[in-house]
Amino acid sequence: MNRTQLDFGTGPILPLLLKMSWPSIAAMLAMAFYNLIDTFWLTRLSPQAIAALTICFPIHMLFGAIGIGTGVGAGSFASRMFGAGKDVKAAQTAGQVIILSALLGLIIIVLTIRYHDIILKIFGATGDILPLARQYLYTVVFGAPFLLFTMMTNNLLRAEGKPNESMNVIIAMSVTGMVLDPIFIFGWGPVPPMGIRGAALAAIIAYFIASVLSFYYLQLKPTKYILNWRYLIPNFSIIYSVYQTGFPSVIVNLTFGLVLIVYNYILGYFGSLAIATLGLCFRINGLVVIVFFGIGQGVMPLVGFNKGAGLHQRMIETVNIAVKISVIFSAIVFLLFELFAHPILLLFTNEAELREIAVPALRIFVTMLLPVGPILVWINMFIGLGKGITSMILLMIRDALLLIPTLFLLPTFFGLNGVWMAQPLSNALAFFIILFWTKRELKMITKAI
């Protein structure tokens, strides 16, 4: 067995969980840092450039939602098949991912080219923001097939027990984007300055390199994914199994895109600086939330494998350890953000007027970190169990049933601060609902032991 392939069914759980989680955390931190670098350079252009990027962010999230959702479904299915000893079915999943990423990417390109202005206006682009947002979106959409393939195969690599390879792909993508960003935005040598369009072009090249590296790792021997031409023929049974878990994840990520539309719509009444503040808060806060996603991504294949292998007690212990880690980490980081909000924001913007809005916004916004860690661990537990519908319902309760109404309600009482308060409040309420559901699920599993 390749030394990078981990055995999910034996050995101490904490070291195994850390080995599965830290590459995902490192990869997503690299991606978040790339997003922050994007923000850093575009603030040098204008606050309108940041606002345009913020407008495009939920659209970009929709692209990612399709890739992440499909990848989550493929990874969950493959890990359960590996646990059950059905390696051929797991291997066939890789071929289906190749077909799905190409087809879905082409659909995204065609729809965006035809309806780009309509899409941007729906997402809140107006006035001086619309032309900049159009430049970015019309360019970056051509990277959609490469982004989708990278997102999907990343989950397959983790399901096989190769978290380091999945990390390498994302880091390569992030570093490429970070290096090319200032060159294409401001121009260097023979490269002309392209402004916000340059940031989009840097992203396309980064996605392409990541997709090539993903394909290389997917077939790198020894591997359980034996790529065969006949696996590229659509297998509707496997596709159904993938989307049985993955489609709810797509819906959840699309809902998050809807949440960002609502944010942009409400913040539009407070001006472009408020929209730019949202972009800063999401990116800075995202550095921490990504750690929770990494822990969750470490949990998901472990839960799936142990579920498939019938190791129920080991699966429950994995979830409990992950929750403890996330709680300790969130408490520490919350205190750091509260104490150092101003110097942190000073790293990303020299605009005094923007910082005046962003400092109190960030201090309110980060209180969401306290409940969000356990929430993401439990959600990934349900995905690993193959219960994508359950994970969708729970996240829809948080985002659609709780967050969106509070986004409309709180600003009427607290003004702009009410917008920032909506995330912490909705996550706190969702915590208790998801905790109840998780305890109920674990109780049923314990009875089955």
* Residue boundaries of the structural domains of the chain: 13-448
CB atoms < 10 A from the CB of 61, how many? 17
Residue 4: pLDDT above 60?
A: no
Cβ pair 194, 201 in contact under 8 A: yes
Percent of the chain whose predicted confidence (pLDDT) is above 90: 17
Q: What is the mean pLDDT of the chain?
A: 82
Long-range contacts for 187-196 (Cβ within 8 Å, ≥24 apart)? 195/45, 195/49, 195/132, 195/135, 196/42, 196/45, 196/49, 196/52, 196/53, 196/132, 196/135, 196/136
User: In angstroms, what CA-CA distances link 420 with 267, 280, 357, 358?
Assistant: 10, 12, 11, 10
Residue 160: pLDDT above 50?
A: yes
Mind listing the pLDDT tens digit for each residue in 106-123? 999 999 888 878 888 877
Residue 260: pLDDT above 90?
A: no
Range with lowest mean pLDDT among 37-41, 113-117, 391-395:
37-41
Split at pLDDT 50, 70, 90, the class of 357 is confident
Where is mean pLDDT largest: 42-51, 63-72, 357-366? 357-366
Q: How many CA atoms lie within 13 A of 186 on its CB side?
A: 13
Residue with more model confidence, 169 or 94? 169
Mind listing the pLDDT tens digit for each residue in 305-335? 777 777 778 888 888 889 999 899 989 989 9
- Establish whether the linkage from the previous residue to 222 is cis, with ω within 30° of 0: yes
Cβ pair 169, 213 in contact under 8 A: yes
Residue with more model confidence, 386 or 100? 100
Confidence (pLDDT) at 7: 63
Question: CA torsion 356→357→360→365, rounded to 10°?
Answer: -150
Average pLDDT value for residue range 101-105:
90
Cβ pair 279, 263 in contact under 8 A: no
Say if residue 329 is exposed, middle or buried (CB neighbours under 10 Å; 0-12, 13-18, 19+).
middle
Q: Which residue carries 């590996």 as its tokens?
A: 82
| Angstrom distance (rounded) from CA 33 to CA 22 | 16
Residue 208: pLDDT above 90?
A: yes
